[in-house]
């Protein structure tokens, strides 16, 4: 399913001083079905707000949000959102966390248990299905969070700095895992990050945002084969160009 944002704006009233804050301004983006696209920009430029609008958690103040050329004005069940904080239920086991969405849909215990077992195996969590979140590493927690999203079969996956809290080595392994997952599922992924190398390693497009109000400053198409050589001249050339844009925005 394609995703299109047309002249999209978002303004809200600050809880601190009651003043109007312009978060997003004139956003024009089109993402094709199956694309992996990263958003990068200064803190507070509206990247997370944009994900919340796409997921239906917030409404835009102006402009249009289209999926397959159809207007979207309510929460859309074909979108899955993965947060940095994992957002797992500490009182539920890995398997129970993964099957939560199916439980909310009224799927029978037998059917959702069978489906969750498949995802536990697929995500390399066979030895941890009956463990609780406190017993897992950060990388495992994030895999559980992604599995809980994917088991509902969303068409579009929104990821808000999902690896930001992980150490460098774990982060690299999770990036590799995510690329394999994307290659297998062909899902459309919109990925927020502050890490330029992460954006370049994962994405087919990197969209650079300005400081608030967030606008699209530049869209980079990354025509490099996977896995990507972070030391190649082409990779480093694009990295330098993105960093120049980000430096202009004070990032």
What was the pLDDT predicted at 220?
95
Task: List the one residue out of 135, 143, 191 whose CA is nearest residue 166.
Answer: 143
Residues 161 and 236 in one domain: yes
Q: State the Cα–Cα distance between residues 143 and 174, nearest whole angstrom.
A: 8
Do 187 and 199 lie in one domain? The reply is yes
The whole-number pLDDT of residue 241 equals 92
Rounded to the nearest 10 degrees, what angle do helices 138-150 and 168-185 cross at?
20
Residue 208 sits in the same domain as residue 193: yes
What local confidence, expressed as pLDDT, does residue 74 receive?
A: 56
pLDDT score recorded for residue 251 = 62
170, 146: one domain = no
Picking from 152, 171, 195, the residue at the C-terminal end of a domain is 152
Q: Are residues 242 and 188 in the same domain?
A: yes
- Give the whole-angstrom CA distance, residue 206 versus residue 192: 10
Strands (E), the chain: 3-13, 20-31, 36-40, 62-67, 70-71, 79-82, 156-160, 188-192, 205-209, 216-221
Q: Does the residue 62 lie in any domain?
A: yes
Burial group, residue 61, by CB count within 10 angstroms (0-12, 13-18, 19+): middle
Cβ atoms 94, 131 nearer than 8 A: yes
Structure tokens at 152: 């509902």
Residue ending a domain, among 128, 152, 176, is 152
The whole-number pLDDT of residue 27 equals 95
Kindly state whether residues 196 and 236 are assigned to the same domain. Answer: yes
Phi, psi torsion values for 135, nearest 5 degrees: -95, 5
State the CATH number of the domain containing residue 22: 3.40.50.300
**What string of pLDDT tens digits covers the 251 residues of the chain?**
788 999 999 998 888 888 888 999 999 999 999 999 999 998 888 999 999 888 888 889 999 888 877 776 655 667 888 887 778 999 999 999 999 989 988 999 999 999 999 999 998 899 999 999 999 998 899 899 999 999 998 989 999 998 887 888 888 888 998 999 999 999 999 999 999 999 999 999 999 999 999 999 999 999 999 999 999 999 999 999 999 988 886 66
Q: Collapse the DSSP code of 177 into the 3-class scheme (helix H, G, I; strand E, B; otherwise coil) and give the result.
A: helix
User: Do residues 123 and 227 both lie within one domain?
Assistant: no
CA gap 27, 66 in Å, rounded? 13
Which among 211, 208, 209, 206 is positioned nearest to 223, based on CA atoms? 206
Q: What is the pTM of this model?
A: 0.91
Map residue 250 onto helix, strand or coil. coil
Quote the tokens at residue 245: 């844009």
Same-domain status, 204 and 214: yes
What residues make up the domain containing 13?
3-78+154-248
Do 170 and 58 share a structural domain?
A: yes
Q: Are residues 69 and 27 in the same domain?
A: yes
How many domains does the structure of the chain reveal?
A: 2
pLDDT of residue 76: 64
User: What tokens were used for 142?
Assistant: 């994030």
The pLDDT value recorded for residue 73 is 63
- Dihedral, CA atoms, 48, 160, 98, 118, nearest 10 degrees? 130
Whether 73 and 94 share a structural domain: no
Do residue 164 and residue 239 come from a single domain? yes
Choose one of 152, 173, 195: the last residue of a domain.
152
Instruction: Say if 24 falls within a structural domain.
Output: yes
CB 98 within 8 A of CB 143: no
DSSP state of 201: H
Q: Report yes or no on 83 lying in a domain.
A: no
Whether residue 54 contacts residue 79, with contact meaning beta carbons closer than 8 Å, is answered with yes
């Amino acid at each position: 399913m394609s995703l299109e944002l047309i002249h999209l704006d978002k303004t809200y009233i600050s809880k601190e001083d009651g003043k109007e804050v312009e978060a997003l301004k004139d956003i024009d983006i089109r993402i094709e079905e199956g694309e992996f696209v990263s958003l990068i920009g200064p803190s507070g430029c509206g990247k997370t707000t944009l994900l919340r609008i796409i997921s239906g958690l917030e409404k835009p103040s102006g402009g249009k949000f289209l999926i397959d050329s159809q207007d979207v004005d309510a929460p859309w069940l074909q979108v899955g959102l993965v947060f940095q904080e994992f957002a797992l239920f500490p009182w539920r086991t890995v398997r129970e966390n993964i099957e939560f969405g199916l439980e909310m849909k009224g799927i029978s215990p037998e059917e959702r248990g069978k489906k969750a077992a498949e995802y536990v195996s697929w995500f390399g969590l066979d030895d941890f299905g009956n463990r609780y979140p406190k017993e897992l590493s950060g990388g495992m927690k994030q895999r559980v969070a992604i599995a809980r999203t994917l088991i509902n079969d969303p068409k579009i996956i929104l990821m808000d700095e999902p690896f930001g809290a992980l150490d460098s080595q774990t982060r690299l392994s999770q990036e590799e895992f995510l690329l394999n997952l994307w290659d297998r599922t062909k899902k459309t992924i919109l990925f927020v990050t502050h890490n330029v190398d992460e954006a370049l390693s994962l994405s087919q497009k990197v969209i650079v945002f300005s400081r608030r109000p967030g606008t699209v400053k530049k869209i980079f198409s990354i025509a490099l084969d996977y896995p990507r050589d972070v030391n190649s001249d082409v990779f480093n050339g694009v990295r330098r160009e993105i960093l120049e844009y980000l430096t202009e925005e004070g990032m």
